[in-house]
A = this chain, B = another copy of it.
């Protein structure tokens, strides 16, 4: 049995910068420029009017850019923690293969044993969770970090510790 702490990391909005994808798809496919200020405190489905039209396609998740500063920190975390990537992917069947390929592209050191695609994260156990959604963090028994994303910017983090960036994650979790 590993003595390392089990760290659960979310994909969308934590490792993958999905907001950049939303901006890009609204602009390129619908000639709609969304102002970043309009995202503050508003659920993604409300601020991006065509989201349901492109989120099911074959490249939305595959082409998503890495969250700034995530790559190096994530590789170091993988050496210090029993690391799992847990993504609520089941709502979007087309995303499953894309997300697997995305992880292999960006983090070739991650093994398939470390990947979980689920509908609800209520069944996940671990010591530490990093996620941008309260609906995931609220059910978790361990220490929880709320990764700052526009949709939750005005909310009280409650028992969760808010982190603004991957450098803040590094400060909090890397020895």
Contact = CB atoms under 8 A, between A and B. Distances in A.
Contact of A116 (B8, B97, B118): B118
A93 interface: yes
Contacts of A116: 90, 116-119, 123
* Number of copies of this chain that the complex holds: 2
Contacts of A125: 123-125, 141
Interface string A92-110: 0100110010000000000
Contacts of A8: 123
- Place the interface of chain A in its size category: 20 to 34
B124 A114 contact: no
A123 B90 contact: no
Contact of A91 (B84, B93, B112, B123): B112
Interface of A: 6, 8, 84, 86, 90-91, 93, 96-97, 100, 111-120, 123-126, 141
Given A97-B97, A113-B119, A123-B126, 14 more contacts: A8-B123, A84-B123, A86-B123, A90-B112, A90-B113, A96-B97, A111-B119, A112-B119, A114-B120, A116-B123, A123-B124, A123-B125, A125-B125, A125-B141
30 contacts: A8-B123, A84-B123, A86-B123, A90-B100, A90-B112, A90-B115, A90-B116, A90-B117, A91-B112, A96-B97, A96-B117, A97-B97, A112-B119, A113-B119, A113-B120, A114-B120, A115-B118, A115-B119, A116-B116, A116-B117, A116-B118, A116-B119, A116-B123, A117-B117, A117-B118, A123-B125, A123-B126, A124-B124, A124-B125, A125-B125
